[in-house]
Amino acid sequence: MMRLTSRRLQRLGCVLALRLMALVLREISGAWALDNGLAMTPTMGWLHWERFMCNTNCKEEPDSCVRYRSFGEKLFMQMADLMASEGWKEVGYEYLCIDDCWMAPQRDSKGRLQADPKRFPSGIRHLSNYVHSKGLKLGIYADVGKKTCAGYPGSLGYYDIDAETFADWGVDLLKFDGCYCDTVEQLADGYKHMSLALNKTGRSIVYSCEWPLYMWPFQKPNYTEIRQYCNHWRNFGDIYDSWQSVKNILAWTSSNQRTLVSAAGPGGWNDPDMLVIGNFGLSWDQQITQMALWAIMAAPLLMSNDLRHISFQAKTLLQNKDVIAINQDPLGKQGYLLRKEDSIEVWERPLSNLAWAVAVVNLQEIGGPRSYTISLASLGQGVACNPACHITELLPVKTKLGFYEWTSYVKTRINPTGTVLLQLKISQTTF
Ligand code: GAL
């Protein structure tokens, strides 16, 4: 049996004190969130915008125009079928979300929004019944200002009536955009008003905002306030199906992480926009990077792709249960960039049960795979692997790397624009 010398006792004391401090720090952060009991972990689902945009030309493009169903072609119905039948629902993708361009150009005689009668002939209530019958939830889109970004009727002046309409239709999530507002006060008042109006309906409706995105050009958003009204909020411009776009989002997020990380927690999340995995613009390594980093950032996982035409590889990545478990970790702490050295970024995220996730990203776009060695003592505020830990590589390939002591190093090898995602689980044993 190992004898506890006074040095060992001292070290043990130190370890316990550090661990206790880490626990306390984890508990006290995470400000008051919107009290609707929703989004206790980041929302997961599918959102039509990046892949299908405002395609209303059903004559020329019957398969990809924004519509419920007509003559056998049915974008949202088909997505609902596939979400339920192809394993998406099982791993957590629950919300099927309509974005802009679903509306008729005018409100009805009672001032209510209405769906485009040609593209949604049986209306949203019918679609929500269908989606619910598949065990899924329905998301819809509206705008705080005079018009939606694509020019359809905005909710300004109609917040209560629109909230009631959505609740009547059985909607479960509202993405509320911020186009066509005249002032920042109007923007802020509108976002708050809609939050209260949704709550007043008595229906559980996840409230997805773009408030800070529209606020940044004028003043630094007050995230404590935003968190009190929204379940998640977009901070940065729209994602495109390109590596440049994913890179810009990551760079913006890390440069503002002091503000963003403390704002996130159960009930309220920073939203770096949709997952574009399974489309055309990202290489395999870049898709891995998006999945890994969206998990580290505790981001809503809203895919925008065509579930009818998706490669087996992309599907496997999007349905990776280990990575989803990191994204959905109940502790609800957003990860952050720990350091950047010579185009290698190390990100980390604290998880429940004293575990940590670590992502090593190779941003060098010339040359081949690069090796990068990490001192374990430098991770997780010094406690992630103290006194020892089991390390598993989750991406690109699930591999048990083994048992490591605090003073040791782990070697990674990362493809250009790719990521190695590791999970560290604490162990009380040392060699
Ligand atoms: C943008 C928004 C996009 C999409 C689009 C619809 O402002 O950021 O995600 O919703 O409007 O017009």
Do 101 and 124 lie in a common domain? yes
Q: Ligand 1 centre and the CA of 45: distance in Å?
A: 17
DSSP-based three-state secondary structure for 338:
strand
Q: Are 419 and 289 in contact (CB under 8 A)?
A: yes
- The CATH number given to whatever domain includes residue 111 is 3.20.20.70
Closest ligand 1 atom, CA of 100?
6
- The total domain count for the chain is 2
* Last-in-domain residue among 327, 345, 360: 327
Do 299 and 239 lie in a common domain? yes
Do 145 and 30 lie in a common domain? yes
Residue 152 CB–ligand 1 contact under 6 Å: no
- Give the DSSP per-residue string, 330-342: TT----EEEEEET
174/141 Cα distance (integer angstroms): 6
- Give the pLDDT confidence score for residue 31 in this predicted structure: 57
Residue 238 CB–ligand 1 contact under 6 Å: yes
From the number of C-beta atoms within 10 Å of its C-beta (0-12, 13-18, 19+), residue 117 rates as exposed
| Residue 431 within a domain | no
Name 147's bridge partners.
153
- Give the pLDDT confidence score for residue 69 in this predicted structure: 56
Q: Which of 171, 173, 175, 169 is nearest to 191 (CA)?
A: 175
In sequence order, which residues have a C-beta less than 8 Å from that of residue 229 and are 6 or more positions away?
Answer: 34, 191, 192, 195, 207, 209, 211
Q: Ligand 1 centre and the CA of 300: distance in Å?
A: 16
pLDDT in 10s for each residue of the chain, 431 residues: 334 344 444 444 444 444 444 444 444 444 577 889 999 999 999 999 999 999 988 888 888 888 765 434 478 999 999 999 999 999 999 999 999 999 999 999 999 999 999 899 889 999 999 999 999 999 999 999 999 999 999 999 999 999 999 999 999 999 999 999 999 999 999 999 999 999 999 999 999 999 999 999 999 999 999 999 999 999 999 999 999 999 999 999 999 999 999 999 999 999 999 999 999 999 999 999 999 999 999 999 999 999 999 999 999 999 999 999 999 999 999 999 999 999 999 999 999 999 999 999 999 999 999 999 999 999 999 999 999 999 999 999 999 999 999 999 999 999 999 999 999 999 887 76
Do 244 and 286 lie in a common domain? yes
Q: What stretches of 142-222 show up as alpha helix (H) in DSSP?
A: 159-169, 184-201, 211-215
The phi and psi torsions of 192 (rounded to 5 degrees) equal -70, -45
- The CATH number given to whatever domain includes residue 395 is 2.60.40.1180
- Give the pLDDT confidence score for residue 58 in this predicted structure: 86
- Give the pLDDT confidence score for residue 60 in this predicted structure: 87
Chain centroid, CA 20 distance in Å: 30
362/132 Cα distance (integer angstroms): 42
- Give the pLDDT confidence score for residue 100 in this predicted structure: 96
238 is catalytic: yes
Q: Are 409 and 376 in contact (CB under 8 A)?
A: yes
Q: Ligand 1 centre and the CA of 53: distance in Å?
A: 9
Q: Are 56 and 66 in contact (CB under 8 A)?
A: yes
| Residue 58 within a domain | yes
255/260 Cα distance (integer angstroms): 10
Do 115 and 242 lie in a common domain? yes
- Mutational test site, ligand 1, from 54, 149, 210, max ligand atoms within 8 Å of CB: 149
Do 383 and 293 lie in a common domain? no
Do 351 and 411 lie in a common domain? yes
Do 275 and 341 lie in a common domain? no
223/239 Cα distance (integer angstroms): 22
- Give the pLDDT confidence score for residue 368 in this predicted structure: 98
DSSP-based three-state secondary structure for 63:
coil
- Give the pLDDT confidence score for residue 33 in this predicted structure: 79
Q: How many CB atoms lie within 10 A of CB 431?
A: 8
Do 168 and 86 lie in a common domain? yes
DSSP-based three-state secondary structure for 223:
helix
Element (H, E) at 326: helix 321-327
| Residue 235 within a domain | yes
273 is catalytic: no
Do 408 and 383 lie in a common domain? yes
Q: Ligand 1 centre and the CA of 325: distance in Å?
A: 28
* Last-in-domain residue among 327, 352, 380: 327
Closest ligand 1 atom, CA of 148?
12
| Enclosing domain of residue 137 | 5-327
